[in-house]
Each structure stands twice: as C-alpha cells, then as structure tokens.
Structure 1
Amino acid sequence: MAFFASVSVTLLVLTATFFLIPTAFAYGLKAVLCSVGWSLRNKTNARRELILSQVRAEEEQHQSKHSASLASASASSPEDDDWEKVDSTVPGVAGNGKPLGEDWEGIIGFFHPFCPLSHKTRSNAGGGGERVLWAAVKATQERWPKAVCAIYTGDHEVTKAAMLERVETRFNIKLHAPTVVLLYLSTRKYILSSMYPHFTLLGQSLGSLIVAFDAFNLLVPDIYIDTMGYAFTIALSKFLFPSVPTGAYVHYPTISTDMLSSLDDSTGIKGLNSGAGAGWKGVAKKKYWHIFASIYGWVGSKVDVVMTNSSWTSAHINSLWGPSRKRLEHKNATVVFPPTAVSELHSSIDVSSSSESTREPSIVYIAQFRPEKNHSLILRAFARFVNETRNNNNNNDKITASGSTPKLILIGSVRHSSPDETHIYHLRLLAHELHIRDQTTFLCDASWPTILSHLRTSSIGTNAMWSEHFGIGVVEYQAAGLISVVHDSGGPREDIVIDLGDGATGFRASTEEEFAAAFEAALALPEQERVAMRLRARKSALRFTEEEFARKWIEEVAKLVSQCRKK
C-alpha cells in the first residue's frame, strides 16, 4: 500500500513538474523581457525628448515661413477680400484653420525597413507597399496633426528631405515634414532572403526580431505598426512593452493555406511550390511549413488591430490568426484596400467612344520581373492567340478591325545584381522560341510618362500571378479604361474584376488556353460594348482611391489611439 502511495505521489510530482516548469519558465521569460523593455524605454527616453524638441523646432520654423508667405501674399494682393487663406497642404487643418483631428501627441512607430523610392517609377511596376506607407502617414497627419510619425528604415543614404521629395514626386503625396522622423536601422541585412538559402521563412522571421530590437534601441514608440508583414516583430513588441498598442497592415500572409495546399498540387498552376510536397524532401517541407504556420498563428494573437489589403488576405489571416485572437477586443481583420492612383489616371486618360480610335490591339502587363508573376504564362497564351489569329483570316479581321497587329508589352522593374536579370533573359529567349519576338516588347524600369502612354493606348491589361494578394496593377488598368484579363484567383477574382451589378468589368482565366481565348474575346467585342466595359471598370476602380484608404486607415488607427489613451 505504501508502495502504491509512493508511486502515486511520484507521478503527481512528475505531472505537476511537467506542467508547472513550462509555466514557470514562461512567466520567468515574460518577466525578463518586460525588464529588458523597461531598460530600453529608459535608455531611449533622452532620444525621445530630443526628437520631440526637434519636431517642435521644425514646426515653429514651418509656421513662421507659412505666416511670412501669407503676409507676402496679402501685401501683393491688398484688394483681395479673402486675404486670410489657409495653406491646404498643412496636415490636419480645415478651411476654418482649426485642426481636423484630436490633440493626441504620441509617437507612432512604422516598421518599414525598406523604403526605396525611384524618381522613375510611380506604378505597381515598382511595388505598392511604399504607397501604402506614405498614404498611411499622410492620413495619420491629417487626423492627428500633433502626432509624430517615426519610420524605422534601413535606407541610410536618403535624408528626410530627399525622401519626402521623392514621395511627392512619385506618389503625389505631400507630407508635413516636421512630424515625420526617419530612424535608421543598422541591421536590415538580417531580413534579406539571400541570408537564408534554406528555411527562408523561419530565417527571415527570426532575423526580423534582430531588426526590431535594433528599432526599439533607437526609440520606443507609443503605438507600434508593422507595414511590411514582419509579424514576429509585433510579438517582440508585446513582450517587451505590454502596454504599447500594436497594429499590422498585412499585404500578404507570411504563409497561407494556399501555399500549404500548393505542395500537393499536380497541375503545376499553383505558384512556384506547386507539387513540391512529393518525396521525402517534400514531406519534410510540408511538416516544416505546418509547424511554421502554427507559430505564425500564435504570433497573430499579439496584434491588437489587424488591417489587410484584400478579401483574400483577410480570409487567410482570419484562418491562421483567428483561433488565437478570440479573446481580443478587435479579433477580426479589417479589409483596407491599398490606395491607388485612380484620380490621376481618371484625369490623365479619356475613356469614351472618341478615344477608342487611339487604342491599339495591345496587351500590357505591368508587374515586377519576378518568377511568381508568371510572365511565361502570358507569353505562351499570347503566342497561342497570335497563331490562332494568323490561321484564321476571318477571325483576324474581326479581332483587329484597324488592321494593326496585336502586340504584347511587358513593363516592370528589375532588381539589378539579382536573379531578376537572369529571369528576364530567359523570358526573352522564350519569346524568341515562341516566334513572337517581333510582337513583344520588354520595358525595364520604365518612367511613369512611358507607363501612362501605354495605359492610354493599349486595349487590354493582364495579370497572371496565381493568388495575387491584391493587384494594384489591375486597379490601374481599370482606372485607365483597359479591359482586364487576369488570373482567376486571389484579389483580382474576389475584389477587383467583379460584376458590381451592371455587367462584367473584365475577364478571368487560369490556363494558357483560357488566357488566349480571353484575349480574343476582349479584342473582338463590338465598339459600343467595349467602351461600356471600359467605363464599368473605371467606375469600379473608384473603390480603391486614396481618400477611401485614408478613411478606413483612420478608423482602425483610432482604435490604437483609444487603447493608448487608456493605459
């Protein structure tokens, strides 16, 4: 009897140890991290005060220049009764000179290690993440004019003045300079994919913790927002600074259920990892991805407010993060469509029956020259379309009533000294092998006027990426009046090329044959129907304006400001 009692006690102790030690370790680790966070906050307090004093000094200087310019304008036009004008470019100032937002004076830290801006490109050819960042800063300034927007960036070679000038040049977004602060990271290399040839997802995620710690060594913000998809940095922020509200704008999940399902795909159409789950290496990769997805799901529980760029992204984020966010106040992700240059394209390009004569039977594809954009599918589909057109004179007359030969124009940015250069070389070879070299044009790092010209004169805009998370380029096609022929997946299928009740706004396809057929159908539309579809698409694009983005962004960030006030 004593033996069994002893065994029972032993089992009880072992069971208690099994459960209590991890719990005790977790509490101990949490206490250590909070202590580190307290140390970081104290360490950066001096820099915080210096930043705030510099902001106040710049603000006073700005207001002094503004007052001087008003006085000068008044002196030069004394007869003008409306002499007391307010500069509309000053953020947060209404027509009556009063602030639009509340007087919240905290610091919002935007984690965006890569802010490269080229003077050349202003469209999706250079990526849409930067436009989201700067439009978010602009909206924040308008709502909370006394708040400081601190950008954690690794672009040491760019000064604040140069950065803001490029933002205005590229995106036509004019920011209020005094309340923008750039904090330069020295550890950005740890999130480069080239650092991790194997276990890239895990490597970059762990590397982001190093970069985030570097950021917090520079400044501990009052609100922390990740705008590039480094969710692990938010978990670190929560452990170091539990009282700091956190937000995330997710362009695409680090891992998604689509990625997991692609490993077992035998069709070859589900992205770069299609069918990669075969064999022992595939089984190992599948196990690794599932484990990472579980960790990623837990990380989602540390984000107070989640914004996503599309319904597709939102569905995946809610699927992966949802189970761990049930107890949070704002448990569901909110779709905040990224801002697109819809207004500029509307004012620059005419869409009407009279403008139809200026459009050629050209197909334009604006996307970075990267493998996942699947340019090869468009090349093969275009070759099939051209060959079928050549072999059928009646269809040729129907498709190209103007007598012009269909052309394919591929426009995109190329990351120099990278695999992109090899990739575009192989695409050129493919065009040659398909006998469409003379009808295919490659434009690398094209200027915005050049892009605008092709949007004005082309008939079709295409996109072939499987599960494109949103598709800013497709919105630009619609705003420019092009007929879209896009991959039947992701954001283009769920949010953009949809029927809003008054008819189709484009075509969707998945295979080479379907894309070729869609090209033919789009170019064969009677003129009246073709113009009607262009106008429907242009109207549909109004859902993705900068104004609509700003409205929804402010609604979500207001939740974080409210949490910040309560602490």
Structure 2
Amino acid sequence: MDRVYAWTAEHPLAVAVLQYGTFFIVCLVLAVTLATMAWLQVVRDMRIKNRNDVLQRVNVSERTSGPRTIVGFLHPFANAFGGGERVLYEAIASHQRLDPAVFCVVYTGQLDPLPDGATKDEIIAKAKERFGITLDPAKLEFLPLKYCNMTGDKYWSRFTLLGQTLGTIWMAQDAMSRLIPDVFIDTTGHAFVLPIVKRVAKDVRVGSYVHYPTVSTDMLARVQQRRAGHTNSDAVAKSALLSTAKLYYYRLFALAYGWALRHADVLAVNGSWTRAHIEQIMRHRPFRSDRKDSEIPPIHVVYPPCDTTSFAVFPLQGRKQSDIVSLAQFRPEKEHSTQLKIIKALLDAHPELRSGENAPRLVMIGSVRGREDAVRVARLRGQAEELGIDKHVVFEVDATFERLVQLVGRSSIGLSTMVDEHFGINVVEFMAAGLITLSHASAGPLLDIAVPVDGKPTGFHAKDVNEYAETLYKLITLNTGESLDIRQRARQRAIETFGVPSFVQSWRSGLWDVLRGHDSKKD
C-alpha cells in the first residue's frame, strides 16, 4: 500500500485522468442507455401510425378489409437480382398466392434516389424479366433504409466483420423506426438484426434465411493455418503476429454471431454445409460444455428455388460436347480467372483440341453490379488474350433471362469453380437444362446437388486446375450413351429436389409454419 500511496503522490495527473476517465465512461454508458430507452419508447408509440401509413400507400384499410399480417423481409440489396433475390421474390410470391391476409414489406436500400436504385415498379418488372416471377404490387411495399452500404464488405477496408456489424445495427434501428411488422424475416443473413427486433417488440416472430455463415469454422481454420484467401490476405497469412490477432478477433466475433443467431424463433439454411457451420457456431462456447438443443432455435434446410421449368424444355440429345458454359455474377469469389486457366491447361495437355470439331468454347455468363465488376470483366478479357485462349472464350455480360436460358440450353457442360459455394443455384440450373456439371469438390455442389443417384453420377467435381482440365477432357470425349444417361439423371434430380414447388413446400413447413405459430405436424 505504501508503494501505491507513493505512486499517487508522484503521479497526481495520471490518477486524475483515471478518475475522470472512469467518470466519463460511466456517464457515456448512462447516456447511451437513456437514449436507447427513449428511442424504444418513440418507436413503440409510432407503431400503429407507421403500420397504417404503409398500408394506405396501397389503399389497404384494416378497418374495412380486415386485419393483415405484415411480413417484413430485410433485404438491403433487393435490386441486385442474384440467387438471394430469387429466394426473396419466390417467398413473397408464394405468400401472395397462398395467404390472402398477408401483406409483404421489403426493407431495402436500393430505392430511388440512390444511384443504383430503382422504383417499386422497376423492381417488380425486373423480377418478372430476370426470374419469371410475377408479383402483385397491391400486396407489396418497399421501405427505403439508410446505412445499407455500411453492411457491404466493400465499405470497410479494415475490420470488415466488425464494421458490417455496426452498419447492420444502424440499419436495423432505421428499419424498426419505419415499421414494426408482425413477422420479421431476414433473407440476407444479417444476424445482428435479430436481437434488435426482439428488443423492440417481443411479440414479433423472427426468422432468418441464411445463405452462408458470416463467420465459419473454415474461416477460423484458414487464419489459424495461415492460408491466404478472399477472407485472409497474403500480408496477414505471412505474419504470425497478425494471424494470431486476427484469430482471436474471429473467435470473439463467432461468439457474438452465435449469440445473435439464437434470438431467432426459427432458422432456415440453404444446404447441409451451411447448416453444419451454423450449428457449430451456435453451440460454441469456449469455457463451458456444448449448448443444449433447447437453447438453439430449430434449423431447417430449405433449398433455394431454381427455375428448373424454364431450363428443362431443351432436348438432351444433339449437343456439341465441347460447348461449355459458366453462370455466375462477376464477383471475385466466383473464380472466373480459374476457369480461364482450366481452358488453358486443357489445350496445353491436348493441343489437338485447339481446332476442329472438339475445340472447346467457354461462354461466361454473368451480371455486373457496378464499376468494380466491370473492371474485373475487362481484366478477364485481357487474361484470355494473354493466355492465348481468347478464341475459345465468349463473355455474355448482363444477359436477359431469355438469352441466359437459350445459351445454357444449347450447351453441353456446366462449369463452376467457386470454392465452398454454400449452395450453387447455377449447378442446379445446369442439371435441369441437361448439362453435365463440373464443379468444385466442396460445400453445396458436392454435398447436396450433384450427388450420386443409386450409385450413379449426376455430375462431377474437381479440386484444382489440372484435375478440372483432366475431367473436362473426359466429359468432352464421353460416349453418347453414357453422356445421355448422366443428363437424364441430373435433370430428374434437379426438377424433383430443387424446383419452385419443393422450395415453397419447404419454406412453409420449415419456416412459415413456425413463424405463424402453426404446428405442421398436426395436419
């Protein structure tokens, strides 16, 4: 104690800073708590008014036409029109067809007057054009949100997960300020929205459709093993200190992520790989044994809806076996560059394929979300020229749905190169169109989609460029009879397992019945 008294006598300024700093922190925490309580009260007081305002926009009055169940879908980038948006709009369309008393609201940031925004009518028209989904504007409304850009990975150059979480929290507060629904469904995997919605209104039933885990055990392993990748830069992978720091950062985030997910009444996931990771994250607690099942919300596999009908109209015979197609947004994780290297490796190993009837032709179909994607396409074109394969590669950027179906329907082989593709709608569409698929030997395509039927293949998988090239050569030179058998099995599996009817059934029994308080087992 004498040493402590001596230190305080010698450093009175440091002691004062500690004392006043502690007082400042206490005051800050108290101010934030009081502000949050005040905000919650205001939001709750405005609940009925906001509800009536939203319904009046489409001329709906609950006094005259009866009560509505408002289902709010959180989807910050509803104008992107990728696989996640297909899930969103098929789910809404199913409610419009089957639930007369349900009114759907989409919380999103891509509305006018944003540069990449669109009006309600434009979004509905795009859903029809891109997906063939018809939406009733009288049963649907879009609510504009702030802070959506803060939830994107491009907004944060450092501490991306933490930054996205802060953006998600701000976005969730904005959403609840605009409307408290009866049922809330997050369709993009923003888990930290769930506890906020539950805090605002405990009577709101909350669900989430998870396309992929924000943080997974694979990501933790990649950092721990110091392997470079999309989520682990070369600089971090090469540094033991940075890798250790990032590993602890990821572990802490995983704990918080699991805590947030446990606020859902029910979770839906797009496949076995995602389910396994989500369960692992929610069960994880470092200082105690695994959590009991009762502490974890039910998790149901709900495969994304795939338009198998549009693709299944094409004949299985009469295709040129060296016609290859890939279908994916031009994003870095889709590994388009790897596809070019595969064609290069194929031609190097089999130079006779550079010309003649069996010369491969790769059509790369994909959409461009903005300037970065456009630059990426330009680089891919340049890479094809550098590799000397530009005559074997065709780029189809932002193709219409009709054009997309036409290109896929006349091809023979479907190529997918994304590693740990959480599901893989493109692989399903290839199978429905009668293509023989060649995808990465991981996650959705390996575990759920192109799996053997009665011990016979419905598709093929590879792990690296050389294995891809070798398998591609086998598929190009496959005999007609065996090729036809594989195409038939693949199409049948795609239609029966991944079509829209299967999605609607799984959505309702796995997610909707729980959220509306209905036990499907009693039926």
Q: Contact conserved, 1:33 with 1:240, CA < 8 A, in 2?
A: no
Aligned letter for 1:335? Answer: V
Equivalent residue, structure 2, for 1:39: 42
The alpha-carbon deviation at position 387 of structure 1 amounts to 1.7
1:334 aligns with 2:300: yes
Equivalent residue, structure 1, for 2:474: 521
Q: Contact conserved, 1:44 with 1:219, CA < 8 A, in 2?
A: yes
Secondary structure of 2:350 counterpart: helix
Q: Structure 1 CA distance, aligned partners of 2:311 and 2:127?
A: 18
Identical positions, percent: 34
The equivalent position to 1:218 in structure 2, one of 178, 194, 208, is 178
For structure 1, which segment, 441-450 or 146-155, has the greater mean C-alpha deviation from structure 2 after superposition?
Answer: 441-450
The equivalent position to 1:344 in structure 2, one of 293, 310, 313, is 310
Q: Contact conserved, 1:359 with 1:456, CA < 8 A, in 2?
A: no
The equivalent position to 2:337 in structure 1, one of 376, 383, 405, is 376
Aligned letter for 1:509? Answer: A
Q: Contact conserved, 1:34 with 1:239, CA < 8 A, in 2?
A: no
Q: Contact conserved, 2:222 with 2:232, CA < 8 A, in 1?
A: yes
1:257 aligns with 2:217: yes
Q: Aligned Cα RMSD in Å? A: 3.0
The alpha-carbon deviation at position 291 of structure 1 amounts to 1.3
The equivalent position to 1:472 in structure 2, one of 425, 436, 439, is 425
With normalisation by structure 1, the TM-score equals 0.78
The alpha-carbon deviation at position 507 of structure 1 amounts to 0.9
Q: Structure 1 CA distance, aligned partners of 2:422 and 2:29?
A: 36
Q: Contact conserved, 2:262 with 2:296, CA < 8 A, in 1?
A: no
The alpha-carbon deviation at position 425 of structure 1 amounts to 3.0
Deviation per residue, 1:273-314 (Å, 9 max, x gap)? 377444122222222111111111111111111000111111
Secondary structure of 1:48 counterpart: helix
1:245 aligns with 2:208: no
- CA distance 1:59–1:155, change in 2 (3 Å): farther
- CA distance 1:559–1:267, change in 2 (3 Å): closer
Aligned letter for 1:340? Answer: C
Equivalent residue, structure 2, for 1:68: none
Q: Contact conserved, 2:226 with 2:237, CA < 8 A, in 1?
A: no
The alpha-carbon deviation at position 53 of structure 1 amounts to 4.5
The alpha-carbon deviation at position 136 of structure 1 amounts to 0.8
The equivalent position to 1:408 in structure 2, one of 345, 356, 362, is 362
- CA distance 1:515–1:104, change in 2 (3 Å): farther
Q: Contact conserved, 1:277 with 1:286, CA < 8 A, in 2?
A: no
The equivalent position to 1:298 in structure 2, one of 250, 259, 264, is 259
Q: Structure 2 CA distance, aligned partners of 1:188 and 1:26?
A: 26
Aligned letter for 1:342? Answer: T
Q: Structure 2 CA distance, aligned partners of 1:44 and 1:191?
A: 25
Q: Structure 1 CA distance, aligned partners of 2:490 and 2:257?
A: 37
The equivalent position to 1:273 in structure 2, one of 202, 218, 232, is 232
1:173 aligns with 2:130: no
Q: Contact conserved, 2:185 with 2:208, CA < 8 A, in 1?
A: yes
Aligned letter for 1:410? Answer: M
- CA distance 1:307–1:30, change in 2 (3 Å): farther
Q: Structure 1 CA distance, aligned partners of 2:360 and 2:35?
A: 65
The alpha-carbon deviation at position 365 of structure 1 amounts to 1.2
Q: Structure 2 CA distance, aligned partners of 1:330 and 1:139?
A: 28
1:451 aligns with 2:411: no
- CA distance 1:373–1:385, change in 2 (3 Å): same
1:153 aligns with 2:114: no
Q: Structure 1 CA distance, aligned partners of 2:63 and 2:322?
A: 56
1:488 aligns with 2:488: no
Q: Structure 2 CA distance, aligned partners of 1:360 and 1:305?
A: 45
The alpha-carbon deviation at position 262 of structure 1 amounts to 1.8
1:207 aligns with 2:172: no
For structure 1, which segment, 146-155 or 425-434, has the greater mean C-alpha deviation from structure 2 after superposition?
Answer: 425-434
The alpha-carbon deviation at position 452 of structure 1 amounts to 2.0
Q: Structure 2 CA distance, aligned partners of 1:473 and 1:104?
A: 40
Q: Contact conserved, 2:321 with 2:477, CA < 8 A, in 1?
A: no
1:511 aligns with 2:464: yes
Secondary structure of 2:76 counterpart: coil
Aligned letter for 2:382? Answer: L
- CA distance 1:113–1:312, change in 2 (3 Å): same
The alpha-carbon deviation at position 35 of structure 1 amounts to 6.3
**Structure of greater relative contact order (alpha carbons < 8 Å, 6+ residues apart):** 1
Q: Structure 2 CA distance, aligned partners of 1:199 and 1:557?
A: 35
The alpha-carbon deviation at position 414 of structure 1 amounts to 2.0
The alpha-carbon deviation at position 492 of structure 1 amounts to 0.5
- CA distance 1:505–1:471, change in 2 (3 Å): same
Secondary structure of 1:195 counterpart: coil
Q: Structure 1 CA distance, aligned partners of 2:499 and 2:45?
A: 41
Q: Structure 1 CA distance, aligned partners of 2:267 and 2:398?
A: 33
Q: Structure 1 CA distance, aligned partners of 2:30 and 2:284?
A: 22
1:132 aligns with 2:84: no
Aligned letter for 1:52? Answer: L
Q: Structure 1 CA distance, aligned partners of 2:61 and 2:126?
A: 20
1:228 aligns with 2:188: yes
The equivalent position to 1:554 in structure 2, one of 483, 508, 520, is 508
How many residues are aligned here?
478
Equivalent residue, structure 1, for 2:414: 461
Aligned letter for 1:314? Answer: R
With normalisation by structure 2, the TM-score equals 0.84
Equivalent residue, structure 2, for 1:115: 78
Matches within 5 A, 1:18-167: 36-55=39-58, 57=60, 105-116=68-79, 127-157=82-112, 158-167=118-127
Q: Structure 1 CA distance, aligned partners of 2:477 and 2:62?
A: 58
Q: Structure 1 CA distance, aligned partners of 2:347 and 2:485?
A: 26
Q: Contact conserved, 1:33 with 1:239, CA < 8 A, in 2?
A: no
Q: Structure 2 CA distance, aligned partners of 1:408 and 1:272?
A: 28
- CA distance 1:501–1:44, change in 2 (3 Å): same
